[in-house]
C-alpha cells in the first residue's frame, strides 16, 4: 500500500456533530470490522480536504454552512465541492451565469430554483440553470449536505437588489421560502 499522504485515495471520516471534535469513527476501521459504511449524523470530512468558510464573512448573506473542495485540479475543467449546513443553515440567495449540477448528499431540506420551491432529499439531483435565483435551506431540523459540480472558470454570483427582491416576493411560494427564520 502506498503511504496515505501520497495516495490518490482520500478516506472519508465521519465526525461528531461538534465540528471540531475528534473523529468518532473512520470508514477504514469500520470496514475492517466488517460493518457497512453508513452516513451518520456527524459532519463529513475527508483526509486532506480542508473545511473552509462558505464565503468571506460579510460578503453575502449565508448561515451555518461550510465548504469543502473535493476535486480542484488543473486537469479538470470543473470542480466538485461539498457544502454542509447545520439545521437552520442556508446558502446565499443568488444567481450567476454559470450553472450548478447538484446532488443532495445527506439529509433533506428545501431548495428554491427560479420559481420552484421543493423539498429535496439525498440523493436527488438539482440543476441550477444560468441566471436563475437559487438557495438551499436546512429547514428540516437536521444537517443538510450537497455536492455541487461547477465549471472551474465562472462568473461571480449576483445578489438581488432590494427592487429585485420585492419583485420576487410577489410570488407567494418564494415569499414563504425567504421568510423562514434566518
Which one among 85, 110, 126, 138 touches a second copy, defined by CB under 8 A? Answer: 126
Which one among 16, 92, 151, 169 touches a second copy, defined by CB under 8 A? Answer: 151
Q: Is the Cβ–Cβ distance between 37 and 137 less than 8 Å?
A: no
Is residue 111 annotated as a catalytic residue, yes or no?
A: no
Nearer to a second copy, 23 or 123 (CB): 123
Rounded Cα distance, 67 and 99, in Å: 18
Q: Is the Cβ–Cβ distance between 111 and 120 less than 8 Å?
A: yes
Question: 85, 148, 174, 178: which one is catalytic?
Answer: 148
| Beta carbons within 8 Å of 104's beta carbon, 6+ residues apart | 120, 121, 122, 123, 124, 125, 126, 144, 145, 146
For residue 166, give the 3-state DSSP assignment: helix
The answer to the question of residue 175 lying near a second copy (CB under 8 A) is: no
Beta carbon of residue 163, minimum distance to a second copy (angstroms, whole number)? 25
Q: Is the Cβ–Cβ distance between 51 and 68 less than 8 Å?
A: yes
**Catalytic residue numbers, as ranges:** 148
Give the interface with a second copy as residue ranges (CB under 8 A): 1-2, 7-12, 27-28, 30-31, 36-37, 39, 44, 46, 49, 70-71, 73, 75-78, 80, 98-99, 101, 103, 105, 107-108, 111, 113-130, 142, 147, 149, 151-152
Amino acid at each position: 500500500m502506498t503511504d496515505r499522504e501520497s495516495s490518490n485515495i482520500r478516506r472519508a471520516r465521519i465526525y461528531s456533530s461538534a465540528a471540531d471534535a475528534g473523529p468518532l469513527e473512520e470508514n477504514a476501521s469500520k470496514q475492517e470490522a466488517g460493518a457497512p459504511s453508513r452516513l451518520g449524523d456527524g459532519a463529513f470530512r475527508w483526509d486532506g480536504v480542508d473545511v473552509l468558510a462558505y464565503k468571506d464573512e460579510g460578503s453575502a448573506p449565508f448561515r451555518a454552512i461550510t465548504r469543502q473542495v473535493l476535486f480542484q485540479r488543473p486537469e479538470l475543467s470543473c470542480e466538485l465541492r461539498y457544502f454542509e449546513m447545520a439545521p437552520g443553515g442556508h446558502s446565499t440567495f443568488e444567481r450567476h451565469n454559470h450553472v450548478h449540477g447538484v446532488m443532495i448528499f445527506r439529509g433533506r431540506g428545501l431548495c428554491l430554483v427560479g420559481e420552484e420551491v421543493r423539498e429535496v432529499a439525498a440523493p436527488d439531483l438539482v440543476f441550477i440553470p444560468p441566471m436563475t435565483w437559487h438557495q438551499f435551506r436546512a429547514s428540516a431540523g437536521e444537517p443538510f449536505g450537497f455536492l455541487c459540480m461547477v465549471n472551474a472558470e465562472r462568473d461571480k454570483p449576483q445578489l438581488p437588489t432590494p427592487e429585485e427582491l420585492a419583485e420576487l416576493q410577489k410570488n407567494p411560494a418564494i415569499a414563504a421560502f425567504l421568510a423562514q427564520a434566518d
